[in-house]
Chains A and B, each alone.
Chain A
Amino acid sequence: EPEVTQTPSHQVTQMGQEVILRCVPISNHLYFYWYRQILGQKVEFLVSFYNNEISEKSEIFDDQFSVERPDGSNFTLKIRSTKLEDSAMYFCASSEAIHRGPDTQYFGPGTRLTVL
């Protein structure tokens, strides 16, 4: 069964450094998402991406964040200058299409980002 994959599983970085989190969505999916979960808190929407551009973004997704689909398979989240409060589990998700209602979003296993 196809699944969303994410690398790395755990990333440790120093405050102020740039990080890139990578995701490979399911191959025939068209919509891509990033969510994050700070330890002990809810899973929060960050951004959605379709047709090579951002569809929606939350208040969390400020100028420090960017997303890109550099080739036909990868979908990346870049944090330009990490802060301590960026420490969280980051989940990538993808869905096939939007029909009359939302297609199911399938999630990857997550990347745990630790900012020191």
Chain B
Amino acid sequence: AQSVAQPEDQVNVAEGNPLTVKCTYSVSGNPYLFWYVQYPNRGLQFLLKYITGDNLVKGSYGFEAEFNKSQTSFHLKKPSALVSDSALYFCAVSPQYSGAGSYQLTFGKGTKLSVIP
């Protein structure tokens, strides 16, 4: 069974500084990896995904993530944090297609990012 770990419940970063939100995963075979963001009273918004190809994936709002197979990690990064980036961030993994007709996502518990002005 697949699993995702987000080791930090909260990350605090000063506005303008680079940010990293960590994620490690466990899955049989090659993983499909996702980052979602949740603002208060809103649903999960898709940021980016890794399916195959380049290990560095660029997504929405200036975010990027680096897939590292040897370390089974998919950390979310942004060069310069904005106050508006403050939200709850979820990493998710899906295994290779099981033939059952869908790709269910397994989520981490989330990391609360606070960007301090």
In angstroms, how far is the closest chain A Cβ from the Cβ of B2? Answer: 11
Q: In which size bucket is the chain A interface?
A: 20 to 34
The answer to whether B44 touches A43 (Cβ under 8 A) is yes
Q: Could you say which residues of chain A place their CB within 8 Å of the CB of B108?
A: 42
Given A45-B104, A55-B100, is A102 in contact with B90 using a C-beta cutoff of 8 Å?
A: no
Given A43-B90, A91-B44, A104-B46, is A98 in contact with B97 using a C-beta cutoff of 8 Å?
A: yes
Q: Which of B44, B49, B98, B109 makes the CB contact (< 8 A) with A107?
A: B44
Q: What number of A-B contacts does a CB cutoff of 8 Å give?
A: 75
Q: Is the interface of B mostly helix, strand, loop or mixed?
A: loop
The answer to whether A110 touches B43 (Cβ under 8 A) is yes
B41 touches A (CB below 8 Å): yes
B-side interface residues toward A, CB under 8 Å? 32, 34, 36, 41-46, 49, 51-52, 90, 92, 94, 97-98, 100-110
